[in-house]
Amino acid sequence: MVYEIQEKDYVRLLELMEKYHDQPMDFADATLILMAEKTGNRQILTLDSDFLFYRIGNQETFDVIRVE
C-alpha cells in the first residue's frame, strides 16, 4: 500500500512528533502513524518497540507483527 503525504498532512505530522517528543519520534515513524490514521490499517511489521506505545488517532494501538 502506498500513501502519498500531502502538504495538508504536515500539521498532523508535527503534532505527532511533539506528542511523542520523549521517545523521540522521527519523521518516518510519524508518517506511518499518519498512514494508519488515514487508511485504518493497524498492522505493522517492525523491530522498533516504540510502535507498542504509539497510538493511532490517539486511541487505537498498532497490531505489531512479530518476527521470530
* pLDDT digits 0-9 by tens, 25-66: 999 999 999 999 999 999 999 988 899 999 999 899 999 997
Helix boundaries (H) for the chain: 10-19, 27-39
End-to-end CA distance of the chain: 24
Cβ 44 vs Cβ 52: under 8 Å: no
The pLDDT of residue 55: 96
Give the Cβ contact number of residue 2 at 10 Å. Answer: 4
Residue type, position 19, single letter? K
The more confidently predicted of residues 53 and 1 is 53
pLDDT tops 80 at residue 11: yes
